[in-house]
Amino acid sequence: MEEKKEIDLDNTRSSQKGYNQPPSFARLVWREILHDKFALVSFLLFLAIMFTVFIGSTYADTGSSGKVNLALMNKPPSEEFPLGTDGSGRDMLTQLFLGARNSILIAFGVTILCGIIGILVGLVSGFYGGRVDNVIMRILDFLAMLPTLMFIIVIVSLIPKYNVFTFIVVMTIFGWNGKARLIRAKTLQQSSLDYVQASKTLGTRNIVIMLREVLPNIASLIIVNLTLNLAANMGLETGLTFLGFGLPFSTPSLGTLISYARIPENMQRRYWQWLPASLLIVVMMLCINFVGQAVKRAADAKQRVV
């Protein structure tokens, strides 16, 4: 009863003012996805993959991934092992579930952390300007010059014991730079607009202006950037793990599974050990990119299909 009253109140209020709220960004994105067959299929497929992987990995026998079973070594796909077994006799399907889960977790973790740091630094730098901006920009310039990939590899080889979390932190250290730069540029643009000046004159606290007034106005751009970045991070993690500078062997990621192909024997005759992981990563990145394109169109009124 209470709730209904609330809604009614809202409706009358907006009609009294005589305008309709513009559709929210989430609504625009959803509309864009519904109108793009590729994006819709990608979105559903990605959800399905995530669902399967997380359900599959919780039911997976995690204890078995550390064990070696010589009797079951390198078995081709069969009814018992739908994707065969690896050189230590482990079920590849279980490995695939665990690996995909770790890869997805890392990709999301890195993207979200980079987003948060980028938003904070970018907002502060762009909003305050002047000396603060100068100092931050010098730091960003220096970070931009570092060969990121090499530094990640050096640091990973430094840490004696690492897991999913440490890996996320290492990748984040070198990943937030670009985001901060983008958000700073957009904040700088917004800060010169009248609404920010008006709000300042009214005596709104800076932090409120930044987080509740500027941020919502640039949110759609940030979401676009982060969505497209998700796929890139997934690819980077896979690549690093493949080279042996990502997750340790006992914690599989899709990169670990793909690196089975580095042994010529496996590549030539045991396609079931590396091909499923390779295809899965491509399909996931493809899905993310298709959805990302729809999000991008939704953020830019000029490109919108609907």
Partner 1 sequence: MWKTIVRRILILIPQVFLISLLVFILANFMPGDALTGKIDPNVSPVRLEELRRQWGYYDPWYVKYGRWLGNALRGDLGESTAYKIPVTTLIGERAINTFWLSLVTTILMYLLGIVLGILSGRYNEKLPDKIIVFYTFIALAMPSIVFGLINIFIFAFKLKWFPMGGSVGVKYIAGTLPYYLDRIYHMILPALTGALLYTVGIIQYLRSEIIDYKNSDFVVTARSKGVPEKKVYSRHIFRNALLPVASSMGYDIAFLLSGSIFIENVFSYPGMGKLFLESIQRRDYAVVNALIILFAVLTVLGTLLSDIIMSLVDPRIRIK
- Residue 61 pairs in a beta bridge with none
**Residue 19 CB burial class (10 angstroms; 0-12, 13-18, ≥19):** exposed
Tell me if 105 contacts partner 1 by CB under 8 A. Answer: no
Give the single-character DSSP code of 182. Answer: H
Place of tokens 């230590």: 88
The least CB distance from residue 243 to partner 1, in Å, is: 6
Tell me if 238 contacts partner 1 by CB under 8 A. Answer: yes
Which residue, 167 or 209, is less far from partner 1 as judged by CB? 167
Which residue, 89 or 129, is less far from partner 1 as judged by CB? 129
Which residue, 186 or 270, is less far from partner 1 as judged by CB? 270
The least CB distance from residue 120 to partner 1, in Å, is: 23
Provide the token pair at 97.
């579930």
The least CB distance from residue 270 to partner 1, in Å, is: 12
Q: Show the DSSP H helices in 129-214 as ranges.
A: 130-145, 148-158, 164-173, 176-191, 194-201, 206-208
Distance of CA 53 to the CA centre of its chain: 16
Tell me if 274 contacts partner 1 by CB under 8 A. Answer: yes
Which residue, 172 or 209, is less far from partner 1 as judged by CB? 172
Which residue, 57 or 103, is less far from partner 1 as judged by CB? 103
Only segment of 50-58, 129-137, 200-208, 258-266 that touches partner 1 (CB under 8 A): 258-266
Provide the token pair at 10.
């809202």
Provide the token pair at 200.
């300042």
Coil, helix or strand at residue 65: helix
Using CA atoms, how far residue 233 sits from 98, 175, 285, in Å, is: 18, 9, 10
52, 58, 134, 142: which one binds partner 1 (CB under 8 A): 142
Which residue, 105 or 153, is less far from partner 1 as judged by CB? 153
Q: Which of 73, 76, 98, 71 is nearest to 88 (CA)?
A: 73
Question: How many whole angstroms separate alpha carbon 217 and alpha carbon 209?
Answer: 11
Binders of partner 1 among residues 147 to 166 (CB under 8 A) are 147-151, 153-155, 157-158, 160
Return the beta strands (E) in the chain as ranges: none
The least CB distance from residue 157 to partner 1, in Å, is: 5
The least CB distance from residue 244 to partner 1, in Å, is: 8
Which residue, 123 or 281, is less far from partner 1 as judged by CB? 281
Task: State the amino acid at position 206 in one-letter form.
Answer: N
117, 243, 248, 251: which one binds partner 1 (CB under 8 A): 243
Tell me if 249 contacts partner 1 by CB under 8 A. Answer: no
Q: Which of 255, 287, 249, 248 is nearest to 274 (CA)?
A: 255
Task: State the amino acid at position 61 in one-letter form.
Answer: D
201, 264, 301, 302: which one binds partner 1 (CB under 8 A): 264
Contact yes or no for 98/252 (Cβ under 8 A):
yes
Which residue, 24 or 268, is less far from partner 1 as judged by CB? 268
Residues that bind partner 1 (CB under 8 A): 142, 145-151, 153-155, 157-158, 160, 231, 235, 238-239, 242-245, 255, 258, 261, 264, 267-268, 271, 274, 278, 281-283, 285-286, 288-290
